[in-house]
Structure 1
Amino acid sequence: MDQQLHVFVTVAEMENFSRAAEELHMTQPAVSQYIQSFERTMGTKLLERSNKFVRLNKAGEIVYHHAKEILGLYTKMHYLIDDLTNKTSGPLSIGASYTFGEYVLPHVIAKMYRKYPLITPTITIGNTKDVANLVLGHQLEVGIVEGEFKDKNLLIEPFAVDSMYLVTSPKHRLAQKNGEINISELAEETWIVRENGSGTREATEKMFRTCEIIPKKTLEFGSTQLIKESVEAGLGISLLSYWAIRKECSIGSLNVLNVKQLPITREFSIVLRSPFQTKALNVFLELLRESKAIPDL
């Protein structure tokens, strides 16, 4: 059954029998036979076929979604058993929200690779909601998310604290101001924020509510790097993580405002679907927990 699932998922993703056969190192007739046998087992057609494409029908979409989960669990089971007798090695699928994934995770991975070169990590970067959903679907073994995240179907472990600061261009009028700024003074500014589902956006919205301000204008960008470049260009101001801005602040391309209510803090959390862990995942989690609190500027 696992081979049938693998062939079915490959055909669905390639949308073509010939390309799927190449990917699977099989003949096209063999792929077709697997699909026909699988459809007989399921009792219904799963694919719409034409001369130009192969696409999932409604039943196929349901089977494809669950097949991905089943194959993920099968692979994890295999490596858990293999770990009982072999040294720490093998693949490790990691997901992380943008801030941690782009600015902190590379350093953790580098440290792991120096100690355990036989571990082969793959990294998926997305917003908090996307990463959590991939862990729920068994498509990632572990996720690192931002903010006050909760889900009764996931094991959630806060492990690090992040400080967030308000940044402007060094040429911005507020950067020239002496003394402490009250955040309520900034309602007239253009705020550049992340998209909904992002931990950084959640922290920004929470700050707006706590400080009882309604920004006159907001711009929504889907990338922290794009936000930093836009702030540096003088387009607006933004609340960003210490890890995201430390290089720019050290060279003077971004300026941290002295705001009365800041910095604010938030947590990074580890999210897992299952308590059963491979040796590779255990090693990664140990290194992750060693990161502890994230320092202030």
Structure 2
Amino acid sequence: MDQQLEVFATVAETENFSRAAERLHMTQPAVSQYIKSLEKSMNARLFDRSNKYVRLTKAGEVVYHHAKEILGLYTNMHALVDDLTNHASGTITIGASYTYGEYVLPEVLKELKEEAPDVTPAVTIGNTKEIVKLVADYELDVGIIEGDVTHDNLTIEPFETDAMYVIASPAHPLVGQHSCNPKELEKESWIIREEGSGTRKMTEKFFESAGISPEKTLEFGSTQLIKESVEAGLGISFLSHWTFRREQKAEELCILNVTSLPMQRNFSIVSRSLFRSKAMEIFLEKVIQKSSARP
């Protein structure tokens, strides 16, 4: 059954029988036979076919969702059993929100490679909402996310506290003031992250707690672009200290002395199962160690 589902999922993802056959190193007739057999067992047509496309039917969408879950469980089962007698090896699929993924994860992966060279990490960077969905849908083994998240089918384990500040360019008139009242910031141009981002959620939480509603905002999907825009004087922003430590040290960005800041949030590990492969355990050890070693 696992072979049948793998063929089905590959056809669904490539939307083409020939490309699926190439990816699976099979003949096209063999792929077609697997699909016919699965459709017969499900008593439903799973694909709409034409000379131009192959697309999932409504029944096919249901089967695809569960097929990915079953294949993920099957792969994880093999990895866990293999771990009982072998050293850490294989691929682990890791997701991370932008702040952790771009500014902390590379150091963790370097240490993982040194201790477990036969482990191959496959990394996806996205906002918190995207990473949680990918873990829940069995597209990722584990995620590192930011902010407060709940999910009925996932385990959420906070492991690190993050500090959030309002930042500006060194030339900004508010830099160097003993204290900025949040109301002074309401008239500023704010450069913020997109919806679904943990940083965006914290920014909105800061606005609410400060009782301000900025009139001018720019929305960017990249923390790096936000930092460069703030440095260029296009506005101010609310970011994790992890993201701008180097620029602060180089005096390219400055923290504004705002009442009630810094605001704290969590980084958390999100996963589906209590059973973890040896490769996963080593990776998570490195994540925790990096947190403990943080100055």
Q: Which range moved further: 268-277 or 282-291? A: 282-291
Distance 1:293 1:116, change over 3 A: closer
Instruction: Give the aligned partner of residue 272 of structure 1.
Output: 271
By how many angstroms is 1:152 displaced? Answer: 2.6
Gaps of 5+ in 1: none
Instruction: Give the aligned partner of residue 157 of structure 1.
Output: 157
Query: Secondary structure, in 3 states, of the residue corresponding to 2:9?
Result: helix
How many percent identity over aligned positions? 60
Structure 1: distance between partners of 2:136 and 2:41:
27
Query: Secondary structure, in 3 states, of the residue corresponding to 1:291?
Result: helix
- Show CA shifts across 1:207-235 (max 9, x none): 11111111122222111112112112211
Instruction: Give the aligned partner of residue 77 of structure 2.
Output: 77
- Show CA shifts across 1:78-98 (max 9, x none): 101111110111111111111
Query: Secondary structure, in 3 states, of the residue corresponding to 2:218?
Result: strand
By how many angstroms is 1:295 displaced? Answer: 5.7
Structure 1: distance between partners of 2:199 and 2:177:
27
Instruction: Give the aligned partner of residue 290 of structure 2.
Output: 291
Structure 2: distance between partners of 1:241 and 1:294:
18
Q: Which residue identity does 1:263 align to in structure 2?
A: P
- Show CA shifts across 1:3-24 (max 9, x none): 1111111111111111111111
TM-score by length of 1: 0.95
By how many angstroms is 1:250 displaced? Answer: 1.9
Q: Which residue identity does 1:31 align to in structure 2?
A: V
Q: Does 1:91 find its partner at 2:65?
A: no
Q: Which range moved further: 235-244 or 249-258? A: 249-258
User: How large is the RMSD of aligned CA atoms in angstroms?
Assistant: 1.4
- Show CA shifts across 1:99-154 (max 9, x none): 00111111111111101101111111111111111111222111111111122321
By how many angstroms is 1:260 displaced? Answer: 2.5
Instruction: Give the aligned partner of residue 167 of structure 1.
Output: 167
Query: Secondary structure, in 3 states, of the residue corresponding to 1:55?
Result: strand
Q: How many residues align?
A: 295
Structure 1: distance between partners of 2:41 and 2:223:
47
* 1:125-204 mapped onto 2 (5 Å cutoff): 125-175=125-175, 177-204=176-203
By how many angstroms is 1:31 displaced? Answer: 0.9
TM-score by length of 2: 0.96
Structure 2: distance between partners of 1:35 and 1:63:
12
Gaps of 5+ in 2: none
Q: Does 1:24 find its partner at 2:24?
A: yes
